[in-house]
Amino acid sequence: MGNPFTCLHSAGPAYISARTGDGNEKRCTAPTELTSRQVIDGWFGGTQLGYNYQLGPSPIVVGTELSGSIEHLKGTTSTVLPGSSPPTVFRGQVACFGPAILLYGTIGNTTQGQCYTCDASERWTLQWLNKVGFAAGPEGRLLTYLTAGVTATNLHIARTQSIALTISNQPTTLSSSVLLKYSDDGIYIGGVLGAGMQYAMTNHASVGLEYLHAEYASEKVSAALTSTQVFLGVPGSSTSTGVRTFSEQFRTDSVRIIVNYKFGD
């Protein structure tokens, strides 16, 4: 009887997978919320093609595989700096914007409040993984393994910075709002470490569960900027465009269910 984990295997319909997280769904509604990182969660599914080989009579199995997935992973967070009194200085990380030192609140006759919103989504991922494992159990049908490799993913980030400004100069009060929108879409390259197990139900069909952690290289991205300023009570608005550079750091943790079909004996 041939070893169930030797020879070419292909997922068909491959694997369906899910990621979990603690992403927030808030858009500048909390009175004071300082959010330093953006979390995305959702589901993804894809296919893989690979080759496993058992080293002679030993239970050690080595293999390589290429996988790709389409993803629906999203998240939204907001950092709210209200126009309160007395004035406050914020020092820290703002999700998707990076380190900042910001002054907000009422200073003299001027009140300024700010809100930073981040919408992030991961759309697709490619991975090349290599594994080494141990085939155990009856006829060596249970494979446990460690895996590592490289990955590329597409990440889209839309940032919005809104500033509300009120100047009280009795008997008149002048209010204005500035809306800054930054958008970027990039491909990130990183490394993957993980572990998993698979059970061969027959010599050709196996199912498994796998955990993967990916760390992506820090990237500097150029985001397109659109700025709109409106004075309350005054018709019309002024709009300008530009570019701003952000430094992104990205990592993922995923769990995927795998269904494999092996070609050959």
Q: What is the pLDDT of residues 50-64, one digit of tens each?
A: 988 888 888 999 999
Does 2.60.120.10 match the CATH number of domain 7-262? no
Per-residue confidence band for 103, with pLDDT thresholds at 50, 70 and 90 = low
pTM, whole model, 2 decimals? 0.73
The amino acid at 136: A
Which is nearest to 39 in space by CA: 246, 252, 212? Answer: 252
d(CA 74, CA 96): 14
Instruction: Give me the residue spans of the domains in the chain.
Output: 7-262
Q: What is the pLDDT of residues 119-163, one digit of tens each?
A: 888 889 999 999 999 998 878 889 999 999 999 999 888 888 888
Which is nearest to 207 in space by CA: 141, 135, 129? Answer: 141
Q: What is the DSSP letter of 56?
A: T
Q: What is the DSSP letter of 139?
A: G
Beta bridge partners of 36: none
Q: Which residue has the tokens 């070419």?
A: 8
